[in-house]
Amino acid sequence: MTDRLHSRVYAILIGLALWTALWVWSFVGGGETDYLLFIVTGFIVVVVALQLVLMRVQRADKAADADNSADDSKDGALSFRQWARGEFETERGRLRAAEAALLILLPIAAAAIGMMAFGIEFQIVEHGL
* Residue 2 confidence (pLDDT): 82
21 HSE (CA, 13 A, CB side): 17
Cα–Cα distances in Å, from 52 out to 9, 37, 48, 86, 95? 12, 22, 6, 24, 24
pLDDT mean over 98-107: 94
Digit-coded pLDDT (tens) for 38-66 = 998 999 999 889 888 887 887 666 666 66
Question: Residue 74: which residues within 8 A CB-CB, separation 6 or more?
Answer: 62, 66
Q: Whole-number mean pLDDT of the chain?
A: 85
Banded pLDDT at 111 (limits 50, 70, 90): very high
Domain boundaries, given as residue ranges, for the chain: 7-127
* Residue 129 confidence (pLDDT): 67
Residue type, 108: I
Distance separating alpha carbons of residues 55 and 49, to the nearest angstrom: 10
Three-state SS at 94: strand
Distance separating alpha carbons of residues 96 and 51, to the nearest angstrom: 22
